[in-house]
């Protein structure tokens, strides 16, 4: 009985997730925003769960793992990894690197931003946070800002 529900339930959850993303993008409100957030968290937990299951399966080739150990690993690792990932995604870090090139004589100051994934949940909140952090770090200004990879 339970196995027969997995596929339809997956389609229902995926459908509601896609509908909530579209509605949040077109008509943001107090209902669509929490729905998108809940499904984003669900999606991330599902991905981490899949990775950990694959790792446990591979480890299980060499050692014997009980079902209780697998359960404990999943119940502890998935929430820890999910919380860590969400925290890091919302708290960008600045890393200063000095690059030297023989053919460039003048000093250039620039910021490189990557993989911010601005979307239905974060919208401009994260980008504003990044801009504020860069402005605080580089009070004397920058020559340019380079944005690469997964802006949205």
CA distance 44 to 41: 5
pLDDT on residue 121: 61
CA distance 110 to 95: 12
Per-residue pLDDT tens over the stretch 77-110: 878 887 888 788 778 788 888 888 888 888 888 8
pLDDT on residue 78: 77
pLDDT on residue 120: 57
Please state the pTM of the whole predicted model: 0.55
What is the mean pLDDT of the segment spanning 49-75? 77
């Amino acid at each position: 009985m339970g196995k027969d529900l997995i596929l339809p339930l997956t389609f229902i959850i995926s459908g509601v997730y896609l509908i909530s993303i579209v509605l949040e993008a077109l008509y943001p409100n107090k209902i669509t925003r929490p729905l998108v957030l809940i499904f984003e968290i669900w999606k991330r937990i599902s991905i981490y769960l899949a990775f950990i299951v694959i790792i446990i399966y591979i480890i299980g080739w060499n050692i014997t793992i009980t079902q209780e150990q697998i359960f404990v690993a999943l119940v502890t690792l998935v929430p820890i990894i999910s919380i860590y990932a969400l925290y890091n995604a919302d708290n960008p870090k600045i890393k200063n690197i000095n690059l030297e090139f023989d053919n460039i004589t003048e000093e250039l100051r620039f910021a490189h931003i990557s993989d911010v994934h601005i979307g239905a949940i974060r919208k401009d909140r994260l980008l504003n946070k990044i801009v504020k952090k860069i402005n605080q770090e580089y009070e004397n200004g920058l020559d340019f800002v380079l944005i690469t990879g997964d802006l949205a």
